[in-house]
Chain A
Amino acid sequence: MRRSWRVVTMLSIFLAVTAATFVFAKAGYAQEAGTAAQDGSSSIPWWLWPFILFAFTFVIGIIAPLSGVGGGVLLVPLSTAFLPFSIDFIRGAGLVMALTSALSSAPQFIRKGLANIRVMAPLVCVSMITSIIGGVVGLWITNAFPTGKYYITMALGAVLLVIFVVMLTSKRVEFPEVDKQDKMSASLGLAGSWYEPTLDKVMSYRITRLPVGIIFFAVVGFIAGMFGLGAGSANVPVLNLIMGAPIKVAVATSMTVITVNDAAAAWIYLSQGAVIPLIVVPSVIGITIGARIGAKLAVKAKPAFVKYLVMAIMLLAAVLNIVKGMRGLEIF
């Protein structure tokens, strides 16, 4: 059974990578003065796009549960460069995709003891409020101070870079040691256990510094709401480095946070017609299959591998945010 899973996974990855390579080779059109992407014309027949989207999202579906991000951080910049859809539809599809990948993997993580709703609930409770406030303030800032969002985007990139360096130099990222819980975490029973296959034993953990974690989640929620930035990449380091969750627990719990945040955001995209089935259906098929494989791999993966994957995503998100901010300010 395990062997057949491995064969299916390898075959699927091979097919997806082949298709993606084909697309990127063909999609040089998008780079050709950006004209095709602008006017929608393409040398690729329209019926091929669903297959391309499937391959593209399948790969992202495998990576997302392994790293605790929704997938938008990978999909949006790559799609903007290579696919002919309007940014509205890319963001709409990215959000539905991230939501589906989180919804498909979170129940598996919870059953294994990796994701903990008791940890997620108080954090999301606060971050949802601040994200709504951020949305209102964001509208005001966009009107009053149009370039402000680019400075914040660059600042977020810089913060992610700092977190990347902290994770790189921190010794206890995989299994942080929590000697003492704060009062609030202890009274809410923020602890759990999971079976770690790489060590062949059940590992226990305790969460601490919940009030500090809540403050960080409030800030992340505010920024995410203000500028529509994905927050998945910021959840993991807060849970891991500040609140003492082992890296795999942090990644899995981050997926449950994403289910709530992205579902709440999905209603905005639906209300604005930024979601069309022709783009969303193949993406959801790809992400659903990919995320189920990714979730199984995440349970079995070595904590050190998960750590490096999270760090790679963090570095990518940091660079993309800094570049995006600099481009917005026309620095280059």
Chain B
Amino acid sequence: MNDQRKVEVDPLNISFARAMEVVTWAGIAILLVFGLIYMFGAPSFVDMQQAVEHWHEPAGDFWESVSDTSVQGYGWFLTRLTKMDAISMVGICVLGLAPLAAILAALARSLRSRAYLLIFLVLTLEFLFAIVRPLIMGGGGE
């Protein structure tokens, strides 16, 4: 790349991007590897044929029909980590944590700037609240 095309990207941005990329690929790998194993017939929490028969039902009814389980919070898949589809769900959790990892990486880079340190600290707290919010407040809004 010649000098005319060279762009200086600030280190805070690069740290954010690197952390996001690593965690995203980890999440996608877990989601896809275990998801595909599940789709090829490995032991699962939800039988595929049953899933197809009931996937037109609202989420609550679907889980009652396919597993006789009332779904609320994260325990429904975190307590079944021997099942391939449940492990695949962990991949989505990892994807959900990717921006948090990126924010923490940016926070570590912004120790000299009081303004950004404060902004990233607030963002971290907000994100942690977003994770526990469904457990405290249920599923209202997004």
Closest to A106 in B: B20
In the bound complex, do residue A135 and residue B141 qualify as a contact, i.e. CB atoms below 8 Å apart? Answer: yes
In the bound complex, do residue A139 and residue B5 qualify as a contact, i.e. CB atoms below 8 Å apart? Answer: no
In the bound complex, do residue B20 and residue A107 qualify as a contact, i.e. CB atoms below 8 Å apart? Answer: yes
- Residue from the list B46, B48, B52, B139 in contact with A268, Cβ < 8 A: B139
Closest to B23 in A: A103
Question: Interface of chain A, helix or strand or loop or mixed?
Answer: helix
Convert B129-141 into 0s and 1s, putting 1 for each residue whose CB lies closer than 8 angstroms to a CB of A.
1110111010111
A161 within 8 A of B: no
In the bound complex, do residue A188 and residue B115 qualify as a contact, i.e. CB atoms below 8 Å apart? Answer: yes
A132 within 8 A of B: yes
Size class of the A contact interface (CB-based, 8 Å): 35 or more
Distance of A268 from chain B, by nearest CB (Å):
5
Of A12-20, A150-158, A195-203, A317-325, the one touching chain B? A195-203
Residues of A within 8 A of B126 (CB): 125, 128-129, 132, 264
Closest to B100 in A: A263
In the bound complex, do residue B24 and residue A104 qualify as a contact, i.e. CB atoms below 8 Å apart? Answer: yes
Distance of A118 from chain B, by nearest CB (Å):
7
Residues of A within 8 A of B55 (CB): 40, 84-86, 89, 276, 278-279
Q: Which of A164-200 contact B (CB under 8 A)?
A: 187-188, 192-195, 200
CA distance A285 to B31 in the complex (A): 10
CA distance A62 to B8 in the complex (A): 27
In the bound complex, do residue B98 and residue A270 qualify as a contact, i.e. CB atoms below 8 Å apart? Answer: no
A271 within 8 A of B: yes
Distance of A30 from chain B, by nearest CB (Å):
11
Decide: A270 near B95, CB < 8 A? Known: A84-B55, A125-B119, A281-B31.
no
A124 within 8 A of B: yes
- Residue from the list B9, B102, B120 in contact with A113, Cβ < 8 A: B9
- Residue from the list A89, A193, A278 in contact with B7, Cβ < 8 A: A193
In the bound complex, do residue A139 and residue B140 qualify as a contact, i.e. CB atoms below 8 Å apart? Answer: yes
Decide: A111 near B95, CB < 8 A? Known: A270-B89, A277-B38, A281-B35.
no
B39 within 8 A of A: yes
- Residue from the list A200, A279, A281 in contact with B36, Cβ < 8 A: A281
Distance of B70 from chain A, by nearest CB (Å):
9
Residues of A within 8 A of B8 (CB): 113, 193
A225 within 8 A of B: yes
Interface residues of B, CB < 8 Å — how many? 79
- Residue from the list A116, A138, A226, A265 in contact with B13, Cβ < 8 A: A116
In the bound complex, do residue A85 and residue B56 qualify as a contact, i.e. CB atoms below 8 Å apart? Answer: yes
CA distance A86 to B59 in the complex (A): 8
A213 within 8 A of B: no
Residues of B within 8 A of A267 (CB): 96, 130-131, 133-134
Q: Name which of A84, A110, A225 has the most chain B CB atoms within 10 A of its CB.
A: A110
Q: Which of A91-129 contact B (CB under 8 A)?
A: 92, 96, 99-100, 103-104, 106-107, 110-113, 115-118, 121-122, 124-125, 128-129
Closest to B86 in A: A277
In the bound complex, do residue A278 and residue B141 qualify as a contact, i.e. CB atoms below 8 Å apart? Answer: no
In the bound complex, do residue B141 and residue A280 qualify as a contact, i.e. CB atoms below 8 Å apart? Answer: no
A219 within 8 A of B: no
Binding site for B on A (CB under 8 A): 37-40, 46, 49-50, 84-89, 92, 96, 99-100, 103-104, 106-107, 110-113, 115-118, 121-122, 124-125, 128-129, 131-132, 134-136, 138-139, 187-188, 192-195, 200-202, 224-228, 259-260, 263-268, 270-281, 284-285, 288
Query: 10 closest pairs, A vs B, by CB?
Result: A135-B141, A273-B71, A281-B35, A271-B134, A264-B130, A40-B56, A110-B17, A107-B17, A139-B140, A88-B59
